[in-house]
Amino acid sequence: MPLPKTIKSERLYHGRIFDLVIEDMEEQDGNIRKCEIISHPGGGVVIPIFDNGDILLVRQYRYPFKTFVLEAPAGKLEPNEDPLDCAKRELKEETGYTAEKFIQLTAMYTTPGFCNEVLHVYLATGLKKSELGQNLDDGEQSLTVESLPLTQAIEMITKGEIVDGKTIVGILLAEQKMKQSH
């Protein structure tokens, strides 16, 4: 099946986190429709798990929802940055920890209906406290680090207490990977 063709592409907004792009797309039948796209560079996500099975998460204020959200450490890719390097950087910056081992769990489309963001999710083990501690970015000063048993995190997902998509996917895949390795 032939793919639709992009006829015209226009960036309407360039922001610090994403761009808004409007494209005219020609369908197979010749119809042209406008597509609104949030263009995002993607990111690295890390599911840090201690040797005892506890998971390390961050709680941060998320303005669009006007509340604090418990989630996996994550951040936006810098230009030409390897997703694994991004995950390692975010683990250290947000939690003050480093890891000996990283395993890629998945690369996921966050909202494919209107956004091209791809998140690369990694399991991190062999955690060690960094000598330098956290190095939070602007806007992350309210971020706190929480450690809890992986089993409790899974219960929190089923109870609707962990609601962030990347975190849910990461925790469930990490649990599966941990079971396979034992």
The token duo for 22 is: 């409007």
Question: Strands of 32-39's sheet, edge to edge?
Answer: 5-14, 19-26, 32-39
The token duo for 85 is: 């390097």
Phi, then psi, of 17 in degrees rounded to 5: -105, -40
The CA-atom distances, in angstroms, between 158 and each of 72, 146, 170, 180 are 17, 19, 14, 22
**Per annotation, catalytic residue among 23, 26, 81, 140:** 140
The owner of tokens 């395993």 is: 103
Contacts 24+ apart (CB under 8 A), 32-37: 32/7, 36/114, 37/114, 37/115, 37/116
Please list, in sequence order, all residues whose beta carbon lies within 8 angstroms of the beta carbon of residue 14, skipping any fewer than 6 positions away. Answer: none
The token duo for 147 is: 């450690």
> Annotated catalytic, 131?
no
| Positions marked catalytic | 140
